[in-house]
Structures are given as C-alpha cells and as structure tokens.
Structure 1
Amino acid sequence: MENFESNFTEFIPGLPEELSLDCITRLPYTSHRLASAVCRRWQQLISSPDFYYHRRKSGATTLLSCFIQALPPAFSTTGWKLCTSLAYGLTVFDSLSQSWDRIPSIPQYPDGLPLFCHIASTEGKLVLMGGWDPATYDPIIDVFVYDFTQGAWRKGKDMPSKRSFFAIGASDGRVYISGGHDESKNALKSAWVYDLRTDEWTELPQMSQGRDECEGLMVGREFWVVSGYDTERQGMFDASAEVYDLDSGEWRVVDQAWEEGRCPRACIGMDKDGKLTNWSESAPAVRVGACGMVMGSRTLVTGSEYQGGPQNFYVMEGEGGQNGKMRKINVPEEYGGYVQSGCCVEV
C-alpha cells in the first residue's frame, strides 16, 4: 500500500490527491458502477484489489448476507401456478439498512441457479461454482464470478473435475474447496484452490480421508472442513474435522469437533472460544434447515420451526454472532423462500 496513492493521482481536478482519494473511498458500493464510468482512471482505481483493501482498512466497506434462495413460484397469465421445478436465485440482505435485493441471473442459467451449487466471497466479489444443471441434473464444473462494482457476471476457469456437496471457503482473493463426491458417488479427499486474480486452479495436499457432504468454514488463516462421511459409510456423518493452514500448507485432524451422525450443511458456526456450534440450536423457530451467515457482530440466521414450515429470519447481535439476542425481522413476501446456503460479502 506504500505506493498506492502515488499510483492514482489527480482524480478530482483542483483537489489534493489525498482528499480526492478520500472522497472516492467514501462512495457507497451501490454507486461504484456509475462512478467507474466517470473516466478510465476512476475505473482502474475502483476495480483495483488495492482499492478494496484500502476501503476495508478505512472502514468504508459494507457487510452483506448473500444466500441461495428458492424463488417465488411462477404463475401463468390466468393466475394459475405453473408446474415447474423449484428454481433458486441469489438474494442480498443488508442488515443495517434492512434492504433486500436480488443479484441478476447468470446469463448461462437465466431460469435459475445450478442446483446445489456453492458460493463464497472474497475481495468484494461473489464466486459461484459447481452444482447440477437444473435441466439435466448432470454435475457441472462451471465457475462464475459476480463483480458488485460492475454489477455483472464473468465466467471463471472451470473446476478441475466434477464434484458435488463439497466444502468451500475463501480468503485473500482465493477460494478453497475440498471433499464432496465424484460422478460415481465416491467420497473425495482431494483439495484445490482457485485464484481470482490469475483465474487459475492449484491442487493442494489431500485430506486424510474422503468427506462427502462436508461443510467449509474459514477461521482466520484456516480452512475448516467439517464432518462428512467416507464412501463405505454413506450418511454416517463423522465427528471429526480437518483444518488446512493457509500459511503452512498442511492439514491437521480435529477429533470430536462436531456431533457424530449430524449433517453439518450450512448450519455450522464458531463461538469466541473456537468451538464449533450449530445454528439450529439458536432458537426453536430455526431448528429445521438452519443456515447462518456471520457479518461481523451480526449474524443472519434462517430456518423453519418444522419440516415444510415457513422460513423464519432472525438477526443475532453479539460478537461473532454467538450468545447474542435474536431479533426476528420482517421479510418481503418475495424473499421468504427456503435458504439453501449463504455467505457474508464485504463490498
């Protein structure tokens, strides 16, 4: 960052470079697309990863919840509900402004996201990968990156191979994946990392065992892959987790990290003592299909009171989202669908 300001000077004629940079830094992310059209220098600045980290250091970023959510049913012109498969879209919720929005559809999938796809976020971008083709149910290796600055999707480099129900996490411009199963439903122990800046994949050391239907969690400089099961133990979820240290490049096993036999998908959190917790235990109203997205000192927790029940939405206040007071929030009808999974996006 030493040369950051000197590389971007004279943004606003007549203003000192430091003041000009401060003015642009304070622009809300919702205005970045329009601001990028002012001139080429503004476009280069706003799209620069250095500018993102500068905004974050300055406290100018916003924490959003982004989640894969069932879309409202489609109706015919006569008012009858159309008999189509359930479709999913990407919803964005700002807990501070209480605003709701929906990210535009991926051009290659205009009628709904790939089923069981995965999302993660880093450097103000949302990365979506994998899942099943909603028309054929075939596993896909597509990677898409949504740029909030441009308000547009771009195609990333395909995943190295087809895998479903894997763990995912992101940090410092990289997305980490591990586990899941292949096309023959064999549990995988392989791991890869995708670099957004270079658009390249790099293979990582393997875990000690295959982990199908595992859950990913980023904790500082560690990528946690929680529970899952090996090929021979279909549906018998393991109590252990494996942790990849981003600095050392090595895995370690953590025994008894999770409740044995319980699916970890989307419902894992971590308390201030470094212990894994289950969002479904936050309140009876979210005990079924719970999903939590930590946004600094706030956490959006969703779920139902019973199987097939309406989706409930709560914001939990407290450090790391743990042991805080839960407040139910009113949700517009079009954003009340089932939440499959989600992540925090800092933009």
Structure 2
Amino acid sequence: MEALVPGLTDDVARECLARVPFNAFPTLFSVCKLWRQELRDPRFHRLRKSTGNAQPVVVLVQSVPDVAHHTRPRPMTYRLVIFEPATGVWSSLPPCPGLPHGLPLFCRLAAAGTELVVIGGWKPPKRATTDEVHVYDFVSGQWRRGSPLPSPLRSYFACAAAHDSDEGCRTVYIAGGHDDRKNGLRSALAYDVAGDSWKPLPDMARERIECHAVTLRGKFFVFGWRCAEAFDAAAGSWGPVEEAAGEEFCYSKTYVAREDGRMYRCLGREVMVQLEGGVLAKVAELPSEMRRARYAVAWEGKLMVMGFEHDYGFSANILDMKATTTRTTMATAAWKKVEVPPGYRGSVLGASCLVI
C-alpha cells in the first residue's frame, strides 16, 4: 500500500500534515490523490482539533473600500474577508467566479466543516433577489455552484449550519424571511452540503421576517421579534423557546452558539450566557469604545463581537472566557481589541466562523 509520505509511517505522516496551516491546504490538495483523500477525511480534522492545530477563521461580508475616492456616490460592492485570530492577519477570499459584481446584498453565510456556504441575497447590479448558492472549499481553495434555493424566492431569512460537521454530516438550515411581495414566510428548508440537495422541513408556527438563527445541541433556533422557535432535528418538529418569552430580539444577529453547548448574546451593553435551565448570567460589558454590537461569532473559549465605535467606525473585540465557576455564573472574562487595517474597516453585513 502506498504511504502518505515515503519513509514515514502513516501515523507520523498524518501528524505532520495536521500541523500545516489551513491556508496551505490548497497546495497540499494539489500534491496527490492520497493527500486529497486525507484532507477530505473527517478523522483528519478531528485529529487537528484534538492536537490543538485547528485554527479559527472569522469570515465577514464586508464592503470593498473606495480606493479611488470617487466624488460621486457609488453602489457598495461586497466581498468576503477573513480574519485569523491566531495570527491577527486580515485578507480577502478569492472572488466567486459566478459573482462578478460582488456578493449579493444581504446574502446569508453558513460554515459547514471546511466549507463556507453563501445563500441568496440581492444580486448586483440590479439588486434582484437570487436563489443562487455558492460554496467555497477551504481545502481545495475553490468555489463551486450549489443547487439553487427552492422557491419561493426569499430575503432576510434565518440561516445556520449544524455543529456536527466534523463527523461528515454537513447541514445548513434556513427558515422564514419574506418573498418578493414582502409576505412573511413560515417555511423552512435543510441543505445537505455534501449531497448538494435541499429538502423541505415542517413550517414554523408563524411567519418571521428579518430573523436570525443559531444551531445548538441538535436544534435550529430561529429568533424574530419578541419570540423564538426551535426545530428539533431528531424529532423533526418545531417548538417554542420558553425562555425567550418577552425578550426583545431586534438585534438577534448578536445571538451566537458555541461548541460548549451554550448560547451567548449581546443586548444593550451586556454580554450574557445562557446557562442550565435558561438562566442568563452576565459575562462582561462591551468595551467602552464600542457604541453598539451588531455581529458576534464564537469558537472554543472565545467570543468575537463586532460593531460601531462612537464615531460609527468599525470595531472588533475578542472576549476570552476561561471557564464557568458554577452552574449559574461565569468566571471573569477579558477583552482584547482587534487591530483592523485600514483596508478592512468597511461596513459588515454578515459574519461566520469556521475552525479548520
């Protein structure tokens, strides 16, 4: 049997490959068939995580800076920007060949394993609602076109991916939004990323527009105005989120679930974590220079919050959360300001996080 690396046992070779930075994966992928198979194997990515070599990658939908400084207003163009918390490096993803005018406005992002799924939005230059799905593969460094979003065409829908993607199951859920006539939608769908196929889910109890979603402990939570619903994938049904009763979800984009099985939120100036029994515990207050939080992403032990400074400039900070001290309180958490280069301070319309 051919070895992964001649002269080394496969276990040793695998340990070597697992230490390669994620941005070198496209180079490894092009070497040979055996390495391509290894990089596609969920066991390889579990090894990276277990040995501490997996790297968090924050992806933002961000406006392209007007480097020419045009005097007349020009339509905003959006791109995908990545931030590597481990190194502090900012860069742009390769543009999608199917989107020559930039990303659709209000498109939705979902991180599924080592792939990023871009769904729907208003496609430039005419800003027409699109059903297009585009998938970027961080392993191969390539884009591919996914199966289109089933009708009806929708905007402002909730979207989130399942967290068990390192087991080979990669599912993206969407729900709600409104159609081209501005009618609210109750319908929901699931996208199998590996199989490139959509399937309908049961309808929600009510229509939800401008909603946001997270996945947590096998459930797909959809937050709207003052109420929320959760789809239980195992039971195949929706149910109310009791602890959401009476809450204000107008800034639901700052709700985020972490792999520790907890949900975090930024409401007002407080960062809260939902503990057992729906109990909310305060983790921290927003940094003094941040006027409002707009987006949040999370990975193991960290929460990155993005928003506006008092002069409405883009601001990003990372909250380092050590461990729970009891079942109902959190240990002290500390903020670290993210240095953002001038070329990456544009307006943000979406955020997601992968651990690769």
What's the TM-score, normalizing by structure 2? 0.84
* Matches for 1:324-343 after TM superposition, within 5 Å: 324-343=333-352
Which of 123, 127, 134 aligns to 2:117? It is: 127
1:167 to 2:158 alignment = yes
CA distance 1:61–1:254, change in 2 (3 Å): same
**What CA distance in whole angstroms lies between the structure 1 residues aligned with 2:322 and 2:127?**
40
- Residue of structure 2 in register with 1:56 after alignment: 49
Output the CA distance in 2 between the equivalents of 1:157 and 1:35: 28
CA distance 1:279–1:99, change in 2 (3 Å): farther
Deviation at 1:224, TM superposition (A): 0.6
Which stretch has the larger CA shift, 275-284 or 248-257? 275-284
Partner of 1:192: 189
Per-residue deviation, 1:60: 2.6
Aligned-pair CA distance for 1:217: 0.9
Return the offset for 1:258.
6.7
In the alignment, structure 2 segments of 5+ residues that lack a partner are 270-284, 325-329
Residue equivalent to 2:273: none
Secondary structure of 1:266's match? Answer: helix
2:143 is matched with which residue: 139, 153, 172? 153
- 1:4 is aligned to none
Post-superposition offset of 1:219? 1.6
* CA RMSD between the two structures: 2.5
- Name the % identity: 29
Question: Does the 8 Å contact 2:251/2:267 carry over to 1?
Answer: no
Moved more, 279-288 or 148-157: 279-288
Cα separation, 1, equivalents of 2:159 and 2:23: 27
Change (3 A) 1:258 1:341: farther
Letter in 2 for 1:312: S
Q: Distance in 2 between matches of 1:327 and 1:72?
A: 25
Structure 1 unaligned segments of length 5 or more: list them: 1-7, 228-236
Shift of 1:264: 2.9
Query: Taking structure 1 as reference, are residues 9 and 209 closer, same or farther at Cα in structure 2, changes over 3 Å only?
Result: farther
Q: What secondary structure is seen at the aligned counterpart in 2 of 1:31?
A: helix
Of 274-283 and 54-63, more deviation after overlay is shown by 274-283
Cα contact 2:251–2:294 (8 A) shared by 1:
no
The answer on 1:303 being equivalent to 2:307 is yes
- Of 252, 266, 273 in structure 2, the residue corresponding to residue 278 of structure 1 is 266
Matches within 5 A, 1:1-347: 10-75=3-68, 80-81=70-71, 83-161=73-151, 162-171=153-162, 172=165, 173-227=170-224, 237=225, 239-255=226-242, 257=244, 262-269=249-256, 277-278=265-266, 280-281=268-269, 282-283=285-286, 285-288=289-292, 290-306=294-310, 309-319=312-322, 324-347=333-356
1:246-304 deviation line (CA, Å, top 9, x unaligned): 22222110145176555234222469895663255242543436211112211221111
Instruction: Name the structure where strand makes up a greater proportion of residues.
Output: 2
Paired with 1:74 and 1:105, the residues of 2 have a C-alpha distance of 18
Counterparts in 2 of 1:17 and 1:273: CA distance versus 1, 3 Å = closer
Deviations 1:71-97 (A, max 9, x none): 20141xxx6456320111111111121
Amino acid at match of 2:131: I
CA distance in 2, matches of 1:187, 1:337: 30
- Determine the C-alpha separation between the residues in 2 that align with 1:88 and 1:43: 31
The whole-number CA distance in structure 2 between the counterparts of 1:170 and 1:74 is 35
Q: Give the number of equivalent residue pairs.
A: 326
